[in-house]
Amino acid sequence: ASLRTEFLGRQYENPFMNASGVHCLTIDELEELSNSKAGAFITKSSTEVEREGNPEPRYYSTPLGSINSMGLPNRGFKYYLDYVLDYQDKHPAANTPFFSVAGMSIDENLKLLRAIQDSAFDGVTELNLSCPNVPGKPQLAYDFEVTEELLSKVFSFFKKPLGVKLPPYFDFAHFDTAASILNKFPLAYVNCINSVGNGLYVDLETESVVIKPKNGFGGIGGEYVKPTALANVRGFYTRLNSSIKIIGTGGIRTGQDAFEHLLCGATMLQVGTELYEEGVSVFERLLHELEDIMNKKGYTSIDEFRGKLSSL
Ligand code: RRO
């Protein structure tokens, strides 16, 4: 079977990427992704000014996944823009890395996107509307009015391919409202899902929380979140215009998890918690596991089953 994937008119060897935030803070980490079997990769969400992020410990691995309250640590927008522009020059035949931005305000997001629009960047931009971990800053995409206002302003000038990273939704009324707003814009894709915000993990032995920021509250990833991720992939796949692609993120630990995301309608697949656990060798394992499943089922390409989840 072939894992070759077309996304936004570009060809990728396979659909696997890192989830933004994991293994993409520094140029060293980004270069490791570039040299891995990942089909594509994305930078850490950046802000105009570099940020240290929240106090440590701020990431904790649990038996079923992870909890994090990193607080948007990043080297600053220019560091990542310089990296991707340099990457384009050095690898003219390769796909440019995806570029994630997460401004701290509407105006900062607009400023960063204007800078991308005015640059030579020829890749795909991801606007993070769902960071759960900056104290005092709610997840933007839970406020539908502000989301629509922001996207209206963005698309008045932004002409390069743009996707949005969404938080998980948990009600059909919210899927309906979110999709009706997203369908008004020439979005390239939506990425479902960011971490499930503000979970709490308790350590029995110490009778304590496990991360320092926000009294232990943080975004949940890994096995815990796969059913929620699949529901969001499927919920948006069935509601969005077919021109808006889906990136599936959440609970991808095995080839089976990847297959399920594709069956629900995802085109690209992002790996967060399991990449943190295993390092970049996770991609080679996942692509072999996915290929094995496809071979056993008699599929020769992903297009033969993408989105084709059966109902009862
Ligand atoms: O840096 C973080 O705390 C973080 C971000 Br920006 C995000 O979008 N999702 C997440 O789980 N952590």
Q: Domain map of the chain by residue range? A: 5-54+72-195+222-304
Q: Is 252 in the pocket of ligand 1 (CB under 6 A)?
A: no
Residue from 51, 58, 68 to probe ligand 1 pocket by mutation (most atoms less than 8 Å from CB) = 68
From 45, 46, 100, 131, the catalytic residue: 131
For residues 222-245, give the mean pLDDT.
Answer: 99
Q: What is the mean pLDDT of the chain?
A: 98
Which atom of ligand 1 is the closest one to the Cα of 73?
A: 1
What pLDDT does residue 214 have?
98
Which atom of ligand 1 is the closest one to the Cα of 165?
A: 8
Give, using CA atoms, the residue closest to atom 5 of ligand 1.
131
Peptide bond preceding 302 in cis form (omega within 30 of 0): no
What pLDDT does residue 238 have?
99
**Cα distances (Å, whole numbers) of residue 187 to 15, 95, 124, 155, 248:** 19, 19, 11, 9, 16
This complex has an ipTM of: 0.99
For residues 34-59, give the mean pLDDT.
Answer: 98
Distance 13 CA to ligand 1 centre (A): 27
Q: Which CATH number is correct for 5-54+72-195+222-304, 3.40.1360.10, 1.10.540.10, 3.20.20.70, 1.10.3720.10?
A: 3.20.20.70
Q: Is 134 in the pocket of ligand 1 (CB under 6 A)?
A: no
Distance 68 CA to ligand 1 centre (A): 7
Phi, psi of 252 (to 5 degrees): -90, 105
